[in-house]
């Protein structure tokens, strides 16, 4: 039996386990272990790999960035930053028709800059914004759809945990990945706001406008968001900025891991200074971070075993060689990959999709000619994949953001949330097309900064 056939059987078995609601980490680990066993014909190498993969995965210094960014997001959630972001955005935009929904999207973008997690962004902003939109008569479809879509900005606006994992998995520069995500993130937020504006024009009964807030009050609320701005500038500016002004050569203020630590400490100190983080809240933040980290590490462990199976079968290399010899247009291959992501996004979470597909898709993409350098191709592909994975968070039937927002919006049928988020999914697809057609939108900041 060839390596490709073994891989196909392995995928079929793994997808069957996932369909039977076996955790994705267990499904990948079992498939990888049995796959190595069958490929090599005896269990000893599989057992040896189980030992070495466990140590290599959990002792990786690079992965320490994940719990640090997660802790930073937990501190931001508990310290009231989300409420201040929303209040400022609502004061400046709420007097427009649909303005509170636009403010929610803007606040999600701001909160994503200090949380790095889509689920945390959706959950935190949903608790703040849903009551306000209900108060001013927003339709259930618009309010839940806007918040579910806005929550996806948590994994696109740097720092992003998913982006970190992609960078580690493909051996790319994390600082450059963060820089590449900034412009697409801004485009995403503006696109969602445009969708809201068009939505309320087509359905005038879907939203109202709140009374215009006095300029003095708007300035005061704007002053309340300075901690978010300062922390974002400190972390992302310190990681991706050039602090070596007087000599040749670029010098960052600190490494990505150091930046994550600085961000966590700064966010925690803000919570302590404002008395929004007590002892109980800090313990809860640490425990939630530990739970999320354990889940991510377990999925990484399962993916490592599965990737070992792929390495022994040489499937990624064989597929890359086959694609290049067939003469397919690079854009055709890329579009097929993105369609695969959209299908997977209906039944799988974002992290699992990244870890499952990148070992196969990445070598194929790197073997194709998109008119970019190899590093630019890797960064551009990562941003495109991140956006398509982001779409999976708001597509039925397993759009995690949809379930989170729907659970917060008591009494709203899930079908209403599905209808409400559909225009935002369309906005995402348009954005993907634009970023594919114009790679410079993702790469411009990387080119001028590094």
Instruction: Write down the pLDDT at residue 133.
Output: 86
**Cα distance between residue 70 and residue 294, in whole Å:** 11
CA angle in degrees (0–180, nearest 5) for 437-180-165: 110
Q: Which residues, at least 6 apart from 28, have a Cβ–Cβ distance to it below 8 Å?
A: 14, 299, 302, 303, 305, 306, 352, 355, 356
**How many domains does one find in the chain?**
1
Share of the chain above pLDDT 70, in %: 96
How do residues 384-422 score in pLDDT, each as one tens digit? 999 888 888 788 776 778 888 888 888 888 888 889 999
Read off the pLDDT band of 286 (50, 70, 90).
very high
Query: How many C-beta atoms surround the C-beta of residue 57 within 10 A?
Result: 17
Q: Are 149 and 105 in contact (CB under 8 A)?
A: yes
CA angle in degrees (0–180, nearest 5) for 310-316-321: 150
DSSP-assigned letter for residue 42:
S
How do residues 100-123 score in pLDDT, each as one tens digit? 899 999 988 888 888 777 877 888
Residue 95 DSSP SS3 = coil
- Domain assignment of residue 224, given as a range: 3-449
Instruction: Write down the pLDDT at residue 192.
Output: 94
**Cα distance between residue 46 and residue 172, in whole Å:** 29
Least confident of 132-141, 234-243, 317-326: 234-243
**Overall size of the chain counted in residues:** 450
10 Å CB burial of residue 287 (0-12, 13-18, 19+) is exposed
In this prediction the pTM is 0.85
Q: Are 66 and 296 in contact (CB under 8 A)?
A: yes
Read off the pLDDT band of 1 (50, 70, 90).
low
């Amino acid at each position: 039996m060839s390596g490709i056939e073994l891989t196909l059987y392995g995928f079929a078995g793994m997808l069957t386990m996932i369909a039977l609601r076996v955790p994705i980490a267990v499904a990948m680990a079992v498939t990888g272990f049995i796959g190595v066993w069958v490929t090599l014909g005896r269990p000893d190498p599989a057992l040896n790999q189980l030992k070495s993969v466990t140590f290599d995965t959990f002792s990786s210094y690079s992965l320490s960035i994940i719990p640090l960014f997660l802790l930073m997001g937990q501190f931001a959630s508990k310290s009231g930053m989300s409420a201040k972001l929303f209040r400022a955005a609502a004061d400046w935009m709420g007097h427009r028709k649909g303005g509170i929904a636009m403010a929610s999207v803007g606040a999600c973008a701001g909160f994503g800059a200090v949380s790095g997690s889509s689920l945390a962004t959706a959950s935190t902003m949903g608790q703040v914004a849903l009551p306000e939109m209900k108060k001013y008569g927003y339709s259930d479809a618009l309010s839940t759809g806007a918040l579910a879509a806005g929550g996806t900005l948590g994994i696109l606006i740097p720092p992003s945990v998913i982006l970190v994992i992609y960078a580690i998995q493909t051996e790319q520069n994390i600082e450059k990945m963060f820089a590449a995500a900034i412009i697409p993130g801004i485009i995403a937020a503006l696109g969602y706001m445009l969708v809201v504006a068009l939505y309320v024009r087509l359905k005038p009964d879907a939203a109202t406008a709140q009374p215009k807030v006095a300029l003095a009050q708007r300035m005061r609320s704007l002053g309340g968001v300075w901690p978010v701005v300062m922390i974002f500038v400190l972390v992302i500016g310190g990681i991706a900025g050039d602090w070596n002004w007087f000599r040749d050569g670029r010098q960052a203020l600190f490494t990505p891991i150091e930046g994550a630590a600085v961000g966590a400490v700064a966010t925690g100190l803000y919570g302590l200074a404002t008395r929004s983080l007590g002892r109980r809240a800090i313990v809860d933040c640490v425990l939630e971070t530990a739970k999320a980290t354990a889940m991510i590490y377990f999925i990484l462990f399962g993916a490592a075993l599965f990737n070992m199976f792929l390495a022994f079968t040489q499937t990624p290399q064989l597929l890359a060689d086959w694609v290049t010899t067939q003469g397919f247009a690079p854009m055709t291959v890329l579009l097929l990959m993105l369609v695969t992501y959209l299908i997977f996004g209906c039944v799988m979470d974002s992290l699992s999709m990244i870890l499952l597909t990148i070992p196969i898709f990445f070598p194929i993409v790197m073997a194709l000619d998109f008119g970019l350098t190899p590093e630019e191709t890797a960064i551009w592909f990562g941003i495109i994949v991140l956006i398509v994975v982001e779409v999976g968070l708001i597509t039925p039937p397993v759009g995690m953001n949809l379930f989170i927002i729907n659970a917060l919006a008591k009494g709203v049928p899930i079908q209403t949330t599905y209808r409400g988020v559909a225009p935002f999914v369309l906005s995402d697809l348009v954005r993907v097309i634009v970023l594919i057609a114009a790679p410079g939108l993702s790469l411009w900041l990387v080119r001028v900064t590094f």
